[in-house]
Amino acid sequence: MAGRDTDRLVAISTWKKHARRTPEGYYDLETDDLGGVPVRLFLTAKLLLEAEDTLYRQIVNAARFPGVKLVVITPDSHYGYGVPVGCVILTDAHAGAVAMGPVGFDIGCGMMSARSSVEAEEATPEKRREFNRAVMERVEMGQGGRSTRMRNLEKREFDELIRGGAEYYVDKYGASFDRSRAERHRIPVEGEWDVPWGRQGRPERGIAQLGSLGGGNHFIELQRSEQTGTLFVQVHTGSRGFGHGLATNYFELARAEKPDQVRDIDLGYFTPDSAHYRSYLNAVAAGGNFAILNRLIIFEEIAAAFRQVFRRDLELVYEISHNLVQKEWHPEFGDVLVHRKGATRAFPAGHPALDGTIWEKTGHPVLIPGSNKDYSFILRPKVQAAVSGFSVNHGAGRQLSRSEAFRRLSQKSIDAEYRDAGILVNLDGRVPLDEAAPCYKSSREVVQAVLDAGLAEVEHELWPLSSLKGTEDRSSAKKWKEKREKRAQRRQESDWQRYLVDAAVDDSSDDDPDPSDNSGGDQSSHHY
């Protein structure tokens, strides 16, 4: 045991030296800890150098679920729940695990982008403020926010919506958007599956939230395209309290089912022989349908606000998730369950899943947000994306923790920087410090890693003009976030020491989700 521990310690302390640059523009990582599972790092040399040492522990976690075929680390990766935020895990679709940490608590969280013919010069400071106000009147924000349009849904109708997705919504309510521009019109949910109402996590708290933004890292942003000079709008939100409640319930079931194997809730999983395997996949489908609808309903409200202010229409570009597990076919690994944790699907032209869609000859758009003081991108996937499991990053990735942001950043200085850049945040111009630009990596550096590997090409570069974020009481939020960060740091350090002492034990833990969070978001994990 002593010799093996020493070997493991060497591997940990020098894990980046085991990353070998390939001619294709990414790194292969090979260590004894990975059990022969291929691990591909889509990082620039700078991003690899700056990666947290503790990220390696979570890469090992990702490779150790039953039936893993491939682990992909995306350019925005950072320490998350059990596995890195910004990772893709492919498991055998017939015998492998469906893992829960690699989906997270905000099931179906994702992005929406819309475009207009309005020249960016029309977005004067007065118009930006007017737009922000008009959106805020239509879309509730913050963790406890309720829908302005759908808050009085009965359970029966809610059940139809989470099963029928955009298909049902368009047929029942009508819509101003083209649902073919949603990544998935409807994710099938088996008829015998029932929502675990009243159980762990209380998913029923999300019923009144369909069509609301949430808090944490969720946002609405007015942008300028450098390619067209016209206005775009981008939205980041997920499945709110419904998805968070579903995830909490099944995380607890996984731990109860395998108490000796699943010691930490973040590493829960189900195998096909589990009574909860199909049930969890149905829960992910229902949470994903909620998230899709949430973004599309918000789009309709934003489009109404846009018409009010700019007198022209918004057109939906695309809607896409970055926290899901779905069955897909892969040319290298066959039928797999693709877990995307803070990662975005990237199907290029000719991919069989796009047959018969408007994207079959072009590939579908990929939405990559930057910080609210940095460029966002719309990419178009290329055939080389197969090597990354047809996946790319979902944003820029955090580089500064929330508690560090409160300690190191000056509210006055940050607010002044945004004013000087002409970026309006909400109506008061007060920037949430834990979501300010210094908290995030350079979006250009992150996208460069994608370009280097030939995974996609840039279609639009989008500069922020105004940003909307749900904020909570700043004093209480700051205290809670500091408390949580300290707890997470203690657990991370404890985990690391345990790992070094006993290499045979495969358990880890990181930051717990806030049980009072109604946003359904991984508040410490991802954005922009």
Distance, in Å, from the CA atom of 110 to the CA atom of 212, rounded to the nearest integer, reads 14
In sequence order, what are the beta bridge partners of 252?
none
C-beta separation of 238 from 294 below 8 A = yes
The helix, strand and coil proportions of the chain, stated in percent and rounded to the nearest 5, come to 40, 20, 40
Helix (H, G, I), strand (E, B) or coil at 41: strand
User: Which pLDDT tens digits describe the chain residue by residue (528 residues)?
Assistant: 333 344 454 566 789 999 999 999 999 999 999 999 999 999 999 999 999 988 999 999 999 999 999 999 999 999 998 999 999 999 999 999 999 999 999 999 999 999 999 999 999 999 999 999 999 999 999 888 889 889 899 999 999 999 999 999 999 999 888 889 999 889 999 999 999 998 888 999 999 999 999 998 999 999 999 999 999 999 999 999 999 999 999 999 998 988 887 777 889 999 999 999 999 999 999 999 999 999 999 999 999 999 999 999 999 999 999 999 999 999 999 999 999 999 999 999 999 999 999 999 999 999 999 999 999 999 999 999 999 999 999 999 999 988 999 999 999 999 999 999 999 999 999 999 999 999 999 999 999 999 999 999 999 999 999 999 987 544 444 554 555 555 555 544 444 443 333 322 222 222 333 323 333 343 333 333
E-strand stretches of 196-244: 219-225, 230-237
Q: Hey, where are the domains in the chain?
A: 110-480
And the tokens for 110?
Answer: 């994702």
CA pair distance 523, 528, nearest whole angstrom? 13
| Active-site residue list | 394
Q: Which helix (H) or strand (E) holds 104?
A: none
Which residue type occupies 99? A
Phi then psi for 291, rounded to 5 degrees?
Answer: -65, -40
Query: Can you list the alpha helix ranges (DSSP code H) found in 174-259?
Result: 240-257
Question: Among 468, 482, 475, which Cα is nearest to 514's?
Answer: 482
Whether the pTM exceeds 0.85: the reply is: yes
CATH of 110-480, one of 3.40.50.620, 1.20.1060.10, 3.90.1860.10, 1.10.540.10: 3.90.1860.10
Cα 509 to Cα 106, 150, 496: the distances in Å are 18, 37, 10
No. of helices (H) and no. of strands (E), the chain: 11, 19
Q: For residue 22, how many C-alpha atoms fall within 13 Å in the half-sphere facing its CB?
A: 17
